[in-house]
Structures are given as structure tokens and as C-alpha cells.
Chains A and B, each alone.
Chain A
């Protein structure tokens, strides 16, 4: 079975629609949504609505820090992020806010763990940016594969049976067999705000039969997404960065 994994959609309707369509064309049968549905982008209402629909159809969802900030605190976020959170709070209706507030920090499925950030203390929203954080995360679970987001740059870590960590920057569209002899942590790139220098929307496809993970990139209508951000009066920087993927 092919599972499509989406992280950091960030209210970017155009990017999310493009990824969903691509996943459907690839034959994905299940959806896993790794948090940060809102924040930064101009279409939080539409995205939460779509995500709610996917959840009703059986998708697996976890909470992201921007989702948590809607009903909680945005302390510690940078200025643009806080501005976007404050605007999103006013934009979302109560059902949407309640939906986000009810999301769990982690979900498990078979031998897979889904979480937004580093898994040992998911509520601390630690970024997995290197083998140290990856080792912390992997030590907190017995799952064969952990899928997370939050970093906005795709990466793949593994822990060998001799407790050695490896790190790897994935190549788009080159399936990687997640060997059963070691445990893996896959950091998905961002659907709605990529930061690895490639502006195309990022998501992942995991084939449970072959055990192979493929990192996909999907070009989308960046102009339209940027226009929505500006129309909503959000900081122009949030629109500009989409074009360069930084």
C-alpha cells in the first residue's frame, strides 16, 4: 500500500492541492498529515476544511506547533509567524479551532510513528537538524520508521544495529529502501513553505510492500499562493520566500 505523507502545509492551498493531485496520480491510498496545517499562508480556512475532510475519510493527523499556537501561545515564534498566527486566529471559525486543538502529538500505525518534531519530547517542538536530534528522537521509540516534519528541509537518518547514526539528503524521486535491519527517521520537506532552496512543494510516498520511501517535489502556482498572502495583509516576506524556497 502506498501512503502519502504531508508536512508543513501552512495554509498554502495551491501547494497542497498540487501535492494531493500528484499523490492520487501516483496511486496513494492513504494520507498521513504531519502537522502545521496553518500559519504563514493565506488560506487557513480552506486547508483546515480540506484536512477535516481527509480525516473523516481515514487520514492520520498529528498536531504542529503553529496549530497549537492558534488556541495557545505564539511565544518564541518570530515576528512574521506571530503576525500570521494572530490573523489566523481571527480567520478560523470555532469548529476549525476546536478541530486543531483536539489533534494528538503523535500517532502510531503498525511499526510507524508519526510526529511533527523530535519525538522524545514532541511538545518541545525541537527541530531535527542533525544526527544528535535524530538520535534523541529514535531513542524514544521502537518504531521501525518515524516520520516527522517541522524543519522544512527533507532529510533521512538511520540508526544501525551497532548504534551508529547516518544522515542523508534525499534525491528527489529516487526511492530509498528503508532496510529492516536498522531504524529510520524521515524528515519530510514542507508542502507549503519549502526552505531547501527548491521552491517546489515537497511531500513523501512510502510503499509498505517494498519498504521504499520516495521524496517527491511538485511545482505549483506560487504566484497565486503569494497573491493570497498579500491580499490578506500578511507580511510580504512570507509571499516572497515562496518563490525562492528559502
Chain B
């Protein structure tokens, strides 16, 4: 059996234990260093010995499998692992700064700050889900921030990786997670739905914006199960000035039925970054919880729909954010008709996709702030109206459709920036026919197609007979 590590100065596989930074029930964290490795590093050592909770071992095994598979700015970089036969440990990047837990004394936070935090965390979740992982333990202590602002998710001991054996699933009949943040489906043993993380993020947003936890802190299974049928107090009941758009988003995250939440973390981030575009439903108006009679009806009819069988990757891919760039210029009409056809066809195959209609208002380099034309009409409003009219025959649910008039001297750059900031998966754009302007200014569509961070479909007007 492995010997526990506990002395500063101890060296294992070249890693020197410098300082113990955390001692928890399941594991200890050491700051470590190694010759030839410059990065700040942490070593996680599971607490193993007489009477060790098997869950501690299995969750350490899960993290050992998952962490080396993850990449990118939203997770700590993996350095090394030691196995159970000798000395189990995991060495990973030490993230500078503190976790969100340190903010708890400041709650409630201002609404716009909660939304900004929410966007960053949703961004990190989107990245994680695209790497086939559902975190399943999203809470303040597992979220850190890099100096440049990006959220970093830590602790994958309860996570599910869709392409690896789920050791937790088979080992334990009871759900594992953190009681106040656990989604209803997790309580029922479902571990492969990325929208469980959106529920936990909803709990966090609710808590950070009201100062209260939506489902309390009950640790008993019975207490936790209440969330299957009893809705939380609407945030507006706690803070009368609570913005309806934020309540709409938070209560949507907290829907019992995953299908009623945002389909993806990217779509949630989109809503949090565009408060004016959030489609308000009855949720945003609620001032009181549902009456007891409604809650009791739910209690005795809690058939959640069957869990999704589709892999995580398929679930994410079925709900992309699509941006369509519509041009109302001289050649607009035939291209826009063709663009409409393509957009309609793509949306017909993806009932969970959302569409952002874009139009770029060229601001002159000389008078950047002038959005009013000579006639005194507000051009921006005019363009928004035309965008919405273009999209109206698509008959999309309003929650799936937004319109944005971007401003900039370079239309391609404006579209590219929108795509990057909003995690757009697919850009649809029309290509102009040969024209004087195109010769002089270059092609917007070719620049977008060349430089976009995502797929681009370039649409041409049908050739004339």
C-alpha cells in the first residue's frame, strides 16, 4: 500500500514538496518544484490509509484519467502522475490567485458583475464540454481566474468523460456532488448531461446575485430531492430591483427539466453577454414561488424525460450558434434570398441552434461616433428593423433569434470579432459578384472565410440563366 506523503522537502520522481497549501478530507495539496520545470506547480496527493473512503480513491482515479486529456486555458495544465501501486499523486499547474470562494463575504454582488462572472464561467464550461467532459461539481471553490481574466475549472474528481470509463457511475449508487449545486438529474444518477453544469452555474449566479442559495444547504438526500418539485424563490422576491433579464436567465438555468435550460454553455454565455436581446418569458416576471398546489402536483408527477443517449459531443454539436451576415447594399437582394435559403435549410436540421443576424454599419474613419445620417434617421434602428424583417419568414422562436448591427470601418473585422467573442460555430455570408467596390475594397467574405475561428459557408446568388 502506498505510504502517505507529509513532509516538506520530501522528493518523489524529482518533484520536491515545498509547502502544504491545503489539507482536505479526500486529498492534500502541496506546492512543488522540479529542476528544469519553471512553472508553478501543485501536487495533489489522495489521503489513503485505514478506513479511506473508496470514493476518494475512485475520484482520484477519475481525475488521473481525465486531467491529462484536457487542454487549453480553462483547465490547469497537467504535468505528471504517480500510480496507486507506488505513490499516487497528480502534478498540475498552480493557478495564480484565489477561487471564487473568497468572494462569498461580498455577496450579493452587483448584477453586471454577476453577469460578467457568468459569461467567463460559461465560456470555460463550453470549452470543457467540447472536450467531452461534464464537470458535475461546479461551485465557487472549484472556479479560479487567470490574471488576464479567463475562468479556470479545477477538480475533475467527480467529472464524467464521455470517451472514458465512468468509474464513479458503476461504483456508487448514491449521487456524488456538492449538495447546494447538484442538478436534479444528478440526484437521479445521470452523469452525462452537460446541462447539469448549467444548473450548477445557475445556482451560483442566483447565490452571487441575491446572497442566498436557491435550494438551501440541506445535505440529506430527502432535502436535496425537494428541488425536483419545489421551485426556488424568484430572485425578484429577494431583491425587488432584480433585473428581469437576469431572472429570466437564472431561472432558466434552474429548470428541473434539462431540456428547458439553455441547450449549451455557449448559448448561456450569449444571453449573459446580450441582456437587451434576452427574450423575456413569464419567468422574468415572477415575484413569488409557484403555489403549493402546483408544487404538490409536480411532486407526485416528477417524470423527468428519459436521459439523453447521445454522446456529449453530439449534444453540443446539435445546438450551435450560427451567425448570418446580411448585407443590404446594392447587390443585396439576390444574395440575401440565397442566404435565406441556406439559413433556413441549416436551421431546419438543428432545432436547438440559435441564429444571430448581423449587419455591419460602416462608420467612417473620420467621424467614428456619427450614427445619424443626413436625414436624421437613426440608421442603426433602420438596419435592425431590416434584419428582423429578413429573418421573420424563418419563423424562429424568439429565444433562438437575435439581431445585431455592428459598427466598424472594416466589415470583415467586425464580423470576425463578433464570432470570436460570442463563440459562434458557423458563419453564413454572401459573396458579392464582381464589382467596382469589391475590386477596390477586397472581398469581405474571403477575409471572413480565411480568418474565421469557425466554419464559414460562403453563399452566392444563383447564376442568371
Contact = CB atoms under 8 A, between A and B. Distances in A.
Q: Do A and B come from one complex?
A: yes
A124 interface: no
A94 interface: no
Contact of B84 (A158, A161, A171): A161
B433 interface: no
Nearest to B169: A166
Instruction: Give the interface size class of chain A.
Output: 10 to 19
Given A161-B57, A162-B54, A171-B162, A181 B68 contact: no
A102 B167 CA distance: 40
Interface residues of B, number: 21
Nearest to A182: B61
A181 B170 contact: no
Given A164-B171, A165-B170, A171 B83 contact: no
A222 to B, nearest CB: 26
A130 interface: no
Interface in B155-206: 162-167, 169-171
Contacts of B169: 166
A224 B218 CA distance: 64
A166 B85 contact: no
A162 B166 CA distance: 16
A177 interface: yes
Contacts of A181: 57, 61, 83-85, 88
Interface in B299-339: 311
B58 interface: yes
A162 B53 CA distance: 10
A166 B163 contact: no
Interface in A178-229: 179-182
Interface in B393-450: none
A18 B57 CA distance: 41
B167 A166 contact: yes
A167 interface: yes
B171 A156 contact: no
Interface of B: 54, 57-58, 61, 64-65, 68, 83-85, 88, 162-167, 169-171, 311
Interface of A: 156, 158, 160-162, 164-168, 171, 174, 176-177, 179-182
15 contacts: A158-B165, A160-B54, A160-B167, A160-B171, A162-B54, A164-B54, A166-B169, A166-B170, A167-B165, A177-B164, A179-B65, A180-B83, A181-B57, A181-B61, A181-B88
Q: Which 10 A-B pairs have the closest CB atoms?
A: A181-B84, A174-B163, A166-B170, A168-B165, A180-B83, A171-B163, A162-B54, A164-B171, A180-B85, A166-B165
